[in-house]
Amino acid sequence: MKKPIALAIKWVLIAVALLGILYIATKLAAAGNVMAVVLAGLVGMGVLAVYATKRSVPLKYLVPGLLFMILFQLWPVLYTASLSVTNYGDGHLYSKEESVTDIIAQSVREVPDTPRYKMSVAIAEGGDPATADLVLLLTKPDGSTYVGDNAGLKPLPPTGVEKTPVGKITKAPGYTILTAKQANARSKDLSAIAVPTSDGGGIKPVGLSEAFEGKATVTYDSAADQLTDAATAPPSVYAPKDAKWVNVADPTQSFPQGWKENIGLANYSRIFTDSTIRSGFISIFIWNIAFAILSVLTTFLLGMLIALLFNDPRLRGKAFYRSLLILPYALPGFVTALVWKGMFNQDYGIINQTLGISVDWLGTPGGAKAAILITNLWLGFPYMFIVCTGALQSIPQDVREAATIDGANAFRTLRSIIMPLLFVAVGPLLLASFAFNFNNFGLIYLLTKGGPFNGADTSIGSSDLLITYAFRLAFSGSAPNYGFAAAVSVIIFLLVALMSIPGFRRTKALEEVN
């Protein structure tokens, strides 16, 4: 027997979900992504099928989680993987056709010793400003007036023509002059206009009030798939090579605009065959694991010790100490990291000054690693302290009393009773903390930016994590190369996944203590 209210709520929720999907689908349709619209439609039908009928009860629980997992976990992984087999990156963002159009458009130069025209954009009188053919009303510096369109330039009789003091035509019989807004709406048509001139150039608008005579120096021969640049003497010929237009006669010269193409597994083979990358990758990987393990270990030990200390019923003013200890956790991590960076300065930092030493913390590999671990200890121990305090308080007092009665001393109680129970609670958290620190981008980036760098190679820093290394490849450094960075990310993903499997098995074993 179903209550009508519950039924109503159910249908309202289904309607809301469907409306949401519809909204997303319209957005996707506006962006012209047919595939995604179809997918959204399928998801909508699925939602209806699962929740509107009485069948498939388990799915009713699983569908939201599944959907979000696909959207936020699976899709990014697949997208990254698909990107990793391309050369996508700076200079390789668009298609080959676009590179050709762009190179030709950018090669338009003003023909020397030609006049600058004052220009108004107009249409034949009575036409529709949104669709009628555009003409340019031009005034030469000597005051003579012309009408130009893609057919050619012809004189405009001066009778009835009105001009501004600088010569821009404001009124001409037989033509309607477009307002700035109307002309701007036709930007595409306007950029396609080139009034042909006798020397092979074309009069083209600059903005809305000037025109110049320009000529594209580059031409494309689609049969031979070659670009020819007439700006040099003799004209230079460019042919496609490695997704770029390279000069046939002098391969060191090429156009900066290349195109995106599939390069198969080249990015992966580069990771494994390039000796600098390979050795760098291995050293980064080792440090990355060491960093994650040491971070978890140090923060956990310190946090647990303090938690045990403050869990002692004899200690007074616990609330005060506890809130003080949480402070490093409450402060924004990036501020703290920058403050620590200042404190580690060799000459001006408070650490060297107080201790009277001259350690080059951030300039030597060992020093940088130590600095990172110290900072992360400061940032991380309050969290461990909080979770340990919570877990300790949930351990029932009678268990401890039982241990005492059985004759266990304090250390024995800690080792055999408290620690196993504690690990049940914090085990998964330690794993999560490991995974988090494995990709602790912010800390490294703010403190050392991955440095110091080994002399001959600035692509691999001695305190780099895989994630900062991939970031440098993708977004900074020499030439941003998303394709290659995606390949590195895929490898990182596989590594982390492989490492997590035994980890999660281990937590299962811990749970059996209960």
Partner 1 sequence: MHKRALGAAAVTGVAALALSACGGSSPTTPSDTGAAGTSKATTTGVPETPSGTAAPVRDANVDLVIWTDADRSKAVQKYADEFAAENGVTVKVQISTDTRAQFKDATKVGKGPDVIVGAHDWLGELVQNSTVAPVNLSSDVAAKFLPKAIEATKFNGQAYGVPYAVENIGLMYNKDLVPNPPKTMDELVAAGEKLVKEGKAKQVLSQFVSKVGNAYFAYPYLSAFPEGGIFAIKPNGDYDPNKVIVNTPDSVKGGDVLAELGKKKVLSTNVDDTNQDALFDTKAAPFMISGPWSVAKAKEAGINYGIAPLPSLTGGGAMRPFLGVQMFYVSSKAKNAALAQEFVTNYIPRKDVQLALFEVGKRPPALKEAYAEVAASDPDVKAWYEAGIDGSPMPNIPAMNSVWGPFGQATADIIAGKAGAKERLDAAAKEITANIAKG
Residue pair 171/161 in contact (Cβ under 8 Å)? The answer is yes
Nearer to partner 1, 155 or 332 (CB): 332
**Near partner 1 in 5-64, by CB under 8 A:** none
- The structure tokens listed for 400 are 């401890």
Is 210 a residue that touches partner 1 (CB under 8 A)?
Answer: yes
Q: How many CB atoms neighbour CB 40 within 10 A?
A: 21
Nearer to partner 1, 91 or 129 (CB): 91
Is 436 a residue that touches partner 1 (CB under 8 A)?
Answer: yes
Is 93 a residue that touches partner 1 (CB under 8 A)?
Answer: yes
Token pair 């200079």: residue: 91
363, 423, 503, 510: which one binds partner 1 (CB under 8 A): 363
Residue pair 484/267 in contact (Cβ under 8 Å)? The answer is yes
Q: How many CB atoms neighbour CB 172 within 10 A?
A: 23
Nearer to partner 1, 51 or 453 (CB): 453
Contact segment (CB under 8 A) with partner 1 among 35-43, 124-132, 180-188, 277-285 equals 180-188
Is 285 a residue that touches partner 1 (CB under 8 A)?
Answer: no
Is 96 a residue that touches partner 1 (CB under 8 A)?
Answer: no
33, 209, 311, 404: which one binds partner 1 (CB under 8 A): 209
Is 445 a residue that touches partner 1 (CB under 8 A)?
Answer: yes
CA distance 200 to 353: 74
14, 39, 48, 94: which one binds partner 1 (CB under 8 A): 94
Is 322 a residue that touches partner 1 (CB under 8 A)?
Answer: no
Q: How far is CA 186 from CA 36, 102, 150, in A?
A: 31, 20, 15
Token pair 């193409």: residue: 261
Is 192 a residue that touches partner 1 (CB under 8 A)?
Answer: no
Backbone angles phi, psi at 110, to 5 degrees: -70, 130
**Near partner 1 in 383-402, by CB under 8 A:** 383, 386-387
144, 170, 184, 409: which one binds partner 1 (CB under 8 A): 184
Is 355 a residue that touches partner 1 (CB under 8 A)?
Answer: no
User: Please, what is the minimum distance in Å from the beta carbon of residue 46 to partner 1?
Assistant: 28
3-state secondary structure of 113: coil
| Integer-rounded Cα radius of gyration of the chain | 35
Q: How many CB atoms neighbour CB 204 within 10 A?
A: 22
- 407 — alpha (psi -120 to 50), left (phi > 0) or beta? left
- The structure tokens listed for 106 are 């950018």
Is 423 a residue that touches partner 1 (CB under 8 A)?
Answer: no
Contact segment (CB under 8 A) with partner 1 among 2-10, 60-68, 203-211, 413-421 equals 203-211
Nearer to partner 1, 110 or 149 (CB): 110
Nearer to partner 1, 145 or 481 (CB): 481
Nearer to partner 1, 46 or 363 (CB): 363
CA distance 303 to 297: 10
298, 341, 400, 499: which one binds partner 1 (CB under 8 A): 341
User: Please, what is the minimum distance in Å from the beta carbon of residue 90 to partner 1?
Assistant: 6
- Reference 40, options 27, 30, 29, 25; nearest CA is 25
Is 428 a residue that touches partner 1 (CB under 8 A)?
Answer: yes
User: Please, what is the minimum distance in Å from the beta carbon of residue 471 to partner 1?
Assistant: 9
**Near partner 1 in 101-130, by CB under 8 A:** 102, 105-110, 116, 121
Is 476 a residue that touches partner 1 (CB under 8 A)?
Answer: yes
For the residues of 350-419, what is the DSSP string, one character each? HHHHHHT----TTTSHHHHHHHHHHHHHHHHHHHHHHHHHHHHHHS-HHHHHHHHHTT--HHHHIIIIIH
Nearer to partner 1, 129 or 452 (CB): 452
3-state secondary structure of 320: helix
**Near partner 1 in 235-264, by CB under 8 A:** 252, 256-258
CA distance 259 to 87: 9
Is 332 a residue that touches partner 1 (CB under 8 A)?
Answer: yes
Is 99 a residue that touches partner 1 (CB under 8 A)?
Answer: yes
Instruction: State the pairing for strand pair 117-124/134-139.
Output: antiparallel
Is 269 a residue that touches partner 1 (CB under 8 A)?
Answer: no
- The structure tokens listed for 464 are 């780099």
Contact segment (CB under 8 A) with partner 1 among 290-298, 312-320, 425-433, 497-505 equals 425-433
